[in-house]
Chain A
């Protein structure tokens, strides 16, 4: 079945450092890919998405490119801030698999001043 594998955390960075969180997927069809963010005590919020190969999703300085050849959707940010500290989830939704939303295990990011 469809699945998402993402880099295990926790990840600790200093402010203004470069961030990469790796995400790879397996899917039956042609899924849409997502990154969600969860701040402490809150639900998951959509951060960015990409619906087809080579699409780049971006939001709040975060970017991820849908790479079909490597089945990857790595999250990047050039300069992280303390306020980016949260748990990040990679996810997919596959219309060939009844559109259920599958999530990775989550990666906890802590940014220190």
Chain B
């Protein structure tokens, strides 16, 4: 398996634009996590899914953020409208659950100017 695949690797956008980050989890993994990493706040859990259903979205910073998982092999994290303070590295991870390790993608570095 190729591991967790995220796209794009880098994204630079202007404030107010819509940004969509994409993730393909490892096949057979039932859990998918979205994290945001910044120098100030470290690694924050934004939302996670189990069997394509959002379980906990309490980490989503505000209504500008939304995440979907239309099927077991694809998830998106959307920011609309984007703001400079959204600049961060966004990681997607997947796992089989039941106290197992999460496998991380390479991350998407988002810069909002």
**Closest chain B residue to A91 by CB distance?**
B102
Is there contact, CB below 8 Å, between B106 and A42?
A: yes
Proximity string of chain B (42-55) to chain A, C-beta cutoff 8 Å, 1 when within and 0 when not = 11010010100001
**If A99-B97, A100-B55, A102-B45 touch, does A43 touch B33 (CB 8 Å cutoff)?**
no
**Which residue in B42, B91, B97 is a CB contact (below 8 Å) of A106?**
B42
Per-residue CB proximity of B82-108 to A under 8 Å, as 1/0?
A: 000000000101010111111111110
| Contact present for A99 and B91 (CB under 8 Å) | no
Q: Given A98-B56, A99-B98, A101-B95, does the pair A89, B104 have CB atoms closer than 8 Å?
A: no
Given A43-B104, A98-B50, A100-B55, residue A93 in contact with residue B99 (CB < 8 A): yes
Q: A32 at the A/B interface (Cβ < 8 Å)?
A: yes
What's the nearest-Cβ distance from chain B to residue A5, in Å? 12
**With a CB–CB cut-off of 8 A, which chain A residues contact B31?**
99
Q: How many residues of B contact A (CB 8 A)?
A: 25
- For the residues of A in contact with B, the DSSP-based class is strand
| Cα separation A94 to B45 with both chains bound (whole Å) | 15
Looking at the complex, which one of A45, A95, A102 makes contact with B99 (CB distance below 8 Å)? Answer: A95
Interface size class of A (residues with CB under 8 A): 20 to 34
Bound complex: CA of A33 vs CA of B103, how far in Å? Answer: 14
B interface residues with partner A (beta carbon < 8 Å): 4, 31, 33, 35, 42-43, 45, 48, 50, 55-56, 91, 93, 95, 97-107
For this complex, 26 residue pairs linking A to B, each with C-beta atoms less than 8 Å apart, are A31-B99, A32-B99, A32-B101, A34-B101, A36-B104, A42-B106, A43-B91, A43-B105, A44-B43, A45-B104, A49-B101, A89-B43, A93-B100, A93-B101, A94-B99, A95-B99, A98-B50, A99-B31, A99-B97, A100-B45, A100-B48, A101-B33, A101-B45, A101-B102, A103-B42, A105-B42
